[in-house]
Amino acid sequence: MGLIKNKYLNQFYILLVVSILACDTSSDSISGFSENSSGTGIGGSMARFTIVGDHLYTVDSYNLNTFDISDQKNPDFKTEINLGWGIETIFPYENRLFIGAQSGMHIYDLKDKNKPSWISTYEHMTSCDPVVVQDSYAFVTLRGGNECMGFNNQLDIIDISKIDQPILFKTYEMIQPHGLGVDNNCLFITEGEFGLKMFDISNLNNLKLIEHFKDISSIDVIPFMNVLMVIGEDGFHQYSYDCEEAKIEYISTIPIVKL
């Protein structure tokens, strides 16, 4: 395939080739969107693009880009919105976009899917910042290090019940948190070279550590229909989990061989 000269189409096709997991689903717990949001993309907390219905949203270091993909052979670029600096991740939930940045979390409304509108911003210290959302809470991991320009390693739980006034609910110390995923009472946090953690979050004031797998590398996770998909520097791991019984079991690994 030749190089497409339009920079936005180039970005679209590159992202499409890399990976998009999109499906028609009626499960709110899978993607945070209701039944009438068919074709919603399912991705990890560190994803830089997502699909909502017939629209694709991507972020680069500064901007939020919108594409109409109702005609998948001819995606139509709609808008570019400047978000500032240090933009890292994007997560869809209940017709909104939650965008992680090194300076905080931006929330955008999708009433007009061609042109997302700003609702609010939750600011924090400079740090790497993936985010996932469930019900009235956003879960954000902050990681320090050279590339993140920060020193804190923690989980922030943010109360978004007033969507235009997000406030910090509680903070928990972590080791080196990267990505995270949430499903009902299960919260999964990847700790890089320090392994994978599963928490019971039925009581947000007192998270309970259910399991800490210390023998794997984990960067990001996707919980999907009681199967946890984990990507790390050493491979792609799968675990089965049960939130009601608070248990998790190893299934398999596809190793990554470094050449």
Is residue 40 a part of any domain in this protein?
Answer: yes
Neighbouring C-beta atoms of residue 219, cutoff 10 Å: 17
DSSP 44-59: -TT-SEEEETTEEEEE
Is beta strand 220-224 parallel, antiparallel or unpaired with respect to 63-68?
Answer: unpaired
Give the side-chain half-sphere CA count within 13 A for 256: 12
Buried-exposed string 56-81: b where 16+ CB fall within 10 A, e elsewhere: bbbbeeeebbbbbbeeeeebebbeeb
- The structure tokens listed for 123 are 């600011």
93: nearest Cα among 49, 31, 179 = 31
Instruction: Please tell me the distance from the alpha carbon of residue 71 to that of residue 58, in angstroms, as a whole number.
Output: 17
pLDDT for the residue numbered 234: 83
> Which domain, by its residues, includes 5?
1-125
Residue 68: its pLDDT value, please?
97
Mean pLDDT value of segment 71-81: 95
H or E element at residue 13:
helix 7-18
**Across the chain, what does the average pLDDT equal?**
84
% of the chain beyond a pLDDT of 70: 81
Position 152 scores a pLDDT of: 83
Q: How confident is the model at residue 127 (pLDDT cuts 50, 70, 90)?
A: confident
Flag whether 152 is in a domain.
Answer: no
Residue 124's pLDDT band (cuts 50, 70, 90): confident
Alpha-carbon span 251 to 88, nearest angstrom: 30
Structural domain includes residue 103: yes
pLDDT in tens, 3-62: 333 443 334 333 333 333 333 333 333 334 333 333 445 778 999 999 999 999 999 999
pLDDT (tens digit per residue) in 220-246? 999 999 999 999 988 899 999 999 999
Examine residue 102 and state whether it is found in any structural domain, yes or no: yes
Work out how many domains the chain is built from and give that number: 1
Binned at pLDDT 50, 70 and 90, residue 147 comes out as: low
Q: Most confidently modeled of 16-20, 67-71, 129-133, 213-217?
A: 67-71
What is the predicted pLDDT for the residue at 3? 34
Q: Is residue 68 part of a domain?
A: yes
Answer whether residue 210 is part of any domain. Answer: no
Question: Looking at the domain assignment, is residue 5 inside a domain?
Answer: yes
Is residue 88 within 8 Å of 124, Cβ to Cβ? no
pLDDT of residue 168: 96
Q: Which of 240, 191, 241 is nearest to 220 (CA)?
A: 191
Please, what is the Cα angle at 39 between 33 and 42, to 5 degrees? 65
Quick one: pLDDT at residue 64? 98
Question: Does residue 133 sit within a domain?
Answer: no
